[in-house]
Amino acid sequence: MTSPDAAVRTAVAEGSAAFLEQLGDWLRIPSVSADPARAADVRASAEWLAGTLREHGFPVAEVWPTPGNPAVYAEWPSDDPDAPTVLVYGHHDVQPVDPVELWTTPPFEPTRDGDRLRGRGAADDKGQVLMHLLGLHAHLRATGRTSPAVSLKLVVEGEEESGSPHFGALLKERRDRLICDVVVVSDTGMWSATVPSVCTGMRGLTDCQVDFHGPDGDLHSGSFGGAVPNPVAELARVLAGLHDDEGRVTIPGFYDDVLAPSDEERELFARLPFDEGEFLASALSRATTGEAGWSTLERLWVRPTAEVNGFWGGYTGPGHKTIVPSEAHAKVSFRLVAAQDPVRVQALFRDWLSARTPEGIRSSVEFYGSGVRPCLTPLEHPALQGVQRSMSRAFEGPVLYTREGGSGPEADLADVLEAPVVFIGVGVPDDRIHAPDEKVEVPLLLKGAEAVAYLWADYAEKLPRRP
């Protein structure tokens, strides 16, 4: 008799050829959501996925229209009425392929190159969505079940690479169908191929444009310079005041809701083989900097930021024009961490800016929407513990923790569905997602499928049901 792990491994290996063939078929559909001319391809991608889910045994697999590109929804209830419900999140749209001439092989002709499968969407995110079908196959084969041990739901959106403009509304509209005990997101990565890891949270985001208006027209700096407020200089002063000398954001109340990482999490972060030189190379930067008292990884993962994304105002052409400008503008964004609320941060920034606007300047600030909430599942959460155990079994060794510095729709899932969010992702930093020659490491996809198979059995036993 084989151990459960050996049975899963065998089932994954046996299913891998068909899995790769199907992934190849899907990758040939150029589902670029940013390109309106590709709308029919994104629809075809959704139809392909729904059909494939039905072929794999999902009793329900639907294409959900949105005002933009459609999402796919599927469910396969467990025959155990007490089984927990798991919602898997991913996306079937892909990034544009430009500059297409930098691809080694055409982006929509998936090409195997040793352990790698190259093609747009191979890692982000078609490979990781389809990994769940292979994982489910292995789960069923290894357990001898005819339905999963958890009640499984999938929602695979079609606009993630375009900022998920309709996903929040879809979630709210379809909330009753999507309700679950845990959300499993498969759209992220690991530290590296040799350092498997689990992501525990993402930063939130809110961003805005700031406008400063001084004199009602550009003025001759000889006739007026030195005696009237200069909005470009004043905006520079305000932007400079966003941080103190320790790199801390100066807006009163900004840090009030920030959850400090536990000593355990910081200790685990410190075990990651972070290489400052490699980081600088990837950042094309000559120095690291940031908030005093935190490591580079902590600055990116557990600390919020205020960042000036751009500024402009006055004369910006060739040569010189000695004016006191009339206007100045800046784009400012805030990366947030749990449990900061983007809407509260917006109000804090408005008050701070208003108090700092000097006499003679009219300032205004326009935020783009209500922002993205940060999300975090603490290390001790049972949903995360299950992922940790499953990944450890698949990778046959310890698994560390990471977070993502970026922001995604994951917090919306947690908010609307009132469920914890965990991440199971097997991308690696050199997958070149969003760039030419995107690829996925096939052995990691198979390990990911293995982890999925373990996770459903683990959750069936140990995941607390929602109250």
Residue 24: exposure state from Cβ atoms within 10 A (0-12, 13-18, ≥19) = middle
User: What is the SS3 assignment for 212?
Assistant: strand
Indicate the residue among 160 and 450 with the shorter CB distance to a second copy: 160
How many whole angstroms separate alpha carbon 210 and alpha carbon 144? 60
Phi-psi region of 192 (alpha: psi -120 to 50; beta: other; left: phi over 0): beta
285 Cβ contact partners less than 8 Å away, ≥ 6 residues apart: none
- Least separation in angstroms between CB 441 and a second copy: 20
Indicate the residue among 96 and 358 with the shorter CB distance to a second copy: 358
Residues in the chain: 467
How many whole angstroms separate alpha carbon 180 and alpha carbon 78? 13
Indicate the residue among 205 and 457 with the shorter CB distance to a second copy: 205
Indicate the residue among 148 and 231 with the shorter CB distance to a second copy: 231
Indicate the residue among 306 and 449 with the shorter CB distance to a second copy: 306
Which residue type does 169 have? A
Tell the residue number behind the tokens 């975090």, with chain if given: 376
Which residue type does 454 have? Y
430 Cβ contact partners less than 8 Å away, ≥ 6 residues apart: none
Helices within 402-441 (DSSP H only): 410-417
Task: Give the helix/strand (H/E) hosting 74.
Answer: strand 71-76
- Least separation in angstroms between CB 343 and a second copy: 16
Nearest Cα to Cα of residue 31 among 41, 21, 18: 41
CA atoms within 13 A on the CB side of 369: 11
Phi-psi region of 385 (alpha: psi -120 to 50; beta: other; left: phi over 0): alpha
Indicate the residue among 255 and 279 with the shorter CB distance to a second copy: 279
- Least separation in angstroms between CB 433 and a second copy: 11
Q: And the tokens for 149?
A: 């041990």
- Least separation in angstroms between CB 288 and a second copy: 5
User: What is the SS3 assignment for 432?
Assistant: coil
- Least separation in angstroms between CB 230 and a second copy: 6
- Least separation in angstroms between CB 26 and a second copy: 26
Indicate the residue among 167 and 334 with the shorter CB distance to a second copy: 334
- Least separation in angstroms between CB 79 and a second copy: 41
Indicate the residue among 10 and 209 with the shorter CB distance to a second copy: 209
- Least separation in angstroms between CB 35 and a second copy: 18
- Least separation in angstroms between CB 316 and a second copy: 4
Q: Are strands 439-441 and 71-76 parallel, antiparallel or unpaired?
A: unpaired
How many whole angstroms separate alpha carbon 404 and alpha carbon 118? 24
- Least separation in angstroms between CB 357 and a second copy: 11
Indicate the residue among 256 and 307 with the shorter CB distance to a second copy: 307
Indicate the residue among 80 and 291 with the shorter CB distance to a second copy: 291
341 Cβ contact partners less than 8 Å away, ≥ 6 residues apart: 257, 373
Indicate the residue among 4 and 310 with the shorter CB distance to a second copy: 310
Residue pair 210/329 in contact by the 8 Å Cβ criterion = yes
- Least separation in angstroms between CB 326 and a second copy: 8
- Least separation in angstroms between CB 151 and a second copy: 33
Nearest Cα to Cα of residue 182 among 381, 47, 433: 381
Exposure letters 107-143 (e unless 16+ CB within 10 A, then b): bbebbeeeebbbbbbbbbbbbbbbbbbbbbbbbbbbb
Neighbouring-strand partners of residue 362: 213
How many whole angstroms separate alpha carbon 110 and alpha carbon 119? 5
Indicate the residue among 110 and 215 with the shorter CB distance to a second copy: 215
